[in-house]
Amino acid sequence: MFDAPPDLAELDPDELEQALARLGAAPFHGRQIYRWVYRRGLERFDGMTDLSRPLRETLGRTLSFSTPRIAAREHSGDGTQKFVFGLADGRSVESVFIPDTPGMTFCVSTQVGCAMRCGFCLTGKMGLARHLTAGEIAGQVRVLARELHLQHRRFNIVLMGMGEPLHNYEATMKALRMLAAPSGLALTPRRVTLSTVGLVAGLERLAGEPWIPNLAVSLHATTDEARHALIPTSRTLRLADLVTACRRFPLKHRGRITFEYVLLDGVNDTAADAARLGGLLRGLRAKVNLIPLNAAPGIPFARPSDRQVDRFARSLAARGMTVSVRKSRGRDIRAACGQLILEGGPRRSHAQQAAALLDG
């Protein structure tokens, strides 16, 4: 068996320099290549005109270069766009562009499906098909930036698409390293938000990284019992331990942790929940982002009324918490939180979805 040639899309700046060194080429070519790939959106070596022809030919012979392919692109009435990306093995993931948040935001996936099985999330219903590679995670951003002509503008990234980023830790952090390269898109940590269901070991590891994105923690409940019912994979975790890990998490000057809280009618939106939430987060530099449920067939919960959402938000604010209510975006194209799912969508049975996944 021959080894597959290394894939340029999977190389972080250091690895690219090492690959160049093995070819006898100077390390600074790595920066040129990163510029072409990340800032100009090139997908082949041919067009890299500041590299000598022999070097381009050598690179073309010795490296492969894969880029997620846009399989579908849908425009929502509210300006949101959903991209379905086809991957090299035939599987697909979805990414969402949200134009005015007030900045520009890309919502990116880290896995095909998700293993966390949150009871209110359609992606969770699919289960995990596989992790994305670093190149596939960064590749979504690379293609979005090019397609939306944002390579030279500022944009934000939220790791809130399909998947649990801390369950795919290495690839996620490597993708961020690739996107942060100064010769590429030069993404800064303050423009990135990693959203996690709260895997404590992952949080502790993240706390020790040199490059730490903003943190959002999906809390969703105020008692262990309620949380375990909503997020079955959290059963071995106590809320108290999660909150302790959050208290230890290093925050930048004026930084805060966002706590996401999906509001489910009659389930976690009571006055007692508001009081407990206040207690849990007391003394933490936190803001609470309420997400009224995006309902869908097959999801056994309902979205509370606007009045109930408002009441819950006000009772948190009255306890001194900073609260926002997430506006649902792109619901008409199933691009909203918890609605990203592969071919077929909510009307298909799980078996059909699983079959679609396996068929790729």
One of 96, 143, 192, 337 touching ligand SAH (CB under 6 A): 337
Burial tier of 234 (Cβ tally within 10 Å: 0-12, 13-18, 19+) = buried
Least separation, in Å, of the C-beta of 312 and ligand SAH? 14
Angle between helices 200-207 and 169-180 (to 10 degrees): 30
Q: Is 262 in the site for ligand SAH (CB under 6 A)?
A: yes
Q: Which of 163, 164, 106, 98 is nearest to 139 (CA)?
A: 106
Choices 31-39, 68-76, 194-202, 314-322; region in contact with ligand SAH by CB under 6 A:
194-202
Which among 114, 118, 121, 337 is annotated as catalytic?
Answer: 337
Q: Is 293 in the site for ligand SAH (CB under 6 A)?
A: yes
One of 59, 98, 118, 144 touching ligand SAH (CB under 6 A): 118
Least separation, in Å, of the C-beta of 176 and ligand SAH? 15
Which among 10, 17, 43, 94 is annotated as catalytic?
Answer: 94
Choices 81-89, 112-120, 143-151, 244-252; region in contact with ligand SAH by CB under 6 A:
112-120
Nearer to ligand SAH, 120 or 312 (CB): 120
Nearer to ligand SAH, 134 or 216 (CB): 216
Choices 72-80, 115-123, 232-240, 344-352; region in contact with ligand SAH by CB under 6 A:
115-123
Q: Is 120 in the site for ligand SAH (CB under 6 A)?
A: yes
Q: Which of 158, 127, 201 is nearest to 291 (CA)?
A: 158
Q: Is 164 in the site for ligand SAH (CB under 6 A)?
A: yes
| CB within 8 Å of 230: residues ≥ 6 apart | 118, 119, 120, 220, 221, 264, 267, 268
| CB within 8 Å of 38: residues ≥ 6 apart | 142, 145, 151, 178, 179, 181, 183, 184, 185
| CB within 8 Å of 208: residues ≥ 6 apart | none
Dmax of the chain from CA atoms? 70
Least separation, in Å, of the C-beta of 123 and ligand SAH? 7
Least separation, in Å, of the C-beta of 9 and ligand SAH? 23
The CA distance from 301 to 117, in Å, is 15
| DSSP secondary structure of 319-341 | TT-EEEEPPP--GGGT-STT---
The CA distance from 105 to 188, in Å, is 14
One of 218, 234, 315, 353 touching ligand SAH (CB under 6 A): 218
Does residue 337 carry a catalytic annotation? Answer: yes
Least separation, in Å, of the C-beta of 95 and ligand SAH? 12
Nearer to ligand SAH, 160 or 342 (CB): 160
- Interface with ligand SAH: number of residues (CB under 6 A): 17
- Residues forming the site for ligand SAH (CB under 6 A): 116, 118, 120-121, 160, 164, 195-197, 218, 260, 262, 291, 293-294, 337-338
Residues with a catalytic annotation lie at 94, 337
